[in-house]
Amino acid sequence: MSTTERAYERLVATNPVPNPVQYMASDVDLHAALRDIEEGIMDTRTQPPTTTERTPQQRRRWTVAAIAALAVLVVGGALLLARAAGDTEVAGDPAIEVVESFFDEWNVGNAEAAMALVDPEVTVPLGPIQLGGLIEWSSQFDGRMEAACVPGSAPGTAICDWAWVTAGTEALGLEGATGLDFTVVDGIITRMGLPNYGAIEGPLTRFARTEDPDGYAEACSSAGSSPTSIAGYALSERCGSFVAGYEAAFVAGLSG
């Protein structure tokens, strides 16, 4: 075994990447590169001596340095490839995990599970909101709440872009809210922002009410135990289903 190969094996033995050669096989022929280094060194030994010729000890130091530099490239490239492929595990942010779980439950219409992750007295910028009812109402649409979050500046906080994506929001070209603050304490959301769902909720609800006043009054009456929206209709599955049934006609009217 050559000096270069022994040096390389020592580096691999202390390398945090399980198999850098495997990671980099498609980009770096490591052994060929090492042979080129060694052949280059051997070529210098056959050249006529000059006043600047390296001593054998200097050549050995240069060999080890060259191998180390190549190994650093391999390790660095391997780590980049591993991250790109999702092979490295990055510790999740606890606040973001709670917020993501909240939206996961919202998008399957599980209001009870979603609200279990929210403080009953959650703070929102515009004041109190019947969040559980909003989840039940909006979940009747063929759409979803989409949120992308990054850690906030303080522990237990997240900053999220949040959009309600449905046929109506897309037809109106509505963009979601950005930079919304979420605060999570002991696994519970205590502060949150809200998407600009009112930009579609208002006109769509008025459209449904105009198309079928009696049906709207029956399905969306604010009387009873259902929470009520600021606009006065019931935040319930029944009302959400009624309004969602007119979304296609509403969108068609926009293009007509």
pLDDT tens, the chain, 256 aa long: 544 444 445 444 444 444 444 434 444 444 444 455 445 444 444 455 444 455 555 444 444 444 444 333 333 343 333 334 333 333 479 999 999 999 999 999 999 999 999 998 888 876 667 888 899 999 999 999 999 999 999 999 999 999 999 999 999 998 889 999 999 999 999 999 888 777 888 899 999 999 999 999 999 988 776 788 877 889 899 999 999 999 999 999 987 6
Q: Quote the CA–CA distance of 128 and 122 in Å, as a whole number.
A: 8
Q: Quote the CA–CA distance of 180 and 102 in Å, as a whole number.
A: 15
Please, are residues 167 and 247 in contact by the beta-carbon 8 Å criterion? yes
Of the candidates 66, 77, 68, the one whose C-alpha atom is nearest the C-alpha of residue 24 is 77
Q: Residue 199's pLDDT is what?
A: 84
Q: Residue 55's pLDDT is what?
A: 52
Q: Residue 93's pLDDT is what?
A: 92
CB atoms within 10 A of CB 152: 18
The domains found in the chain, sorted by start residue, are: 3-84 (no CATH), 94-255 (3.10.450.50)
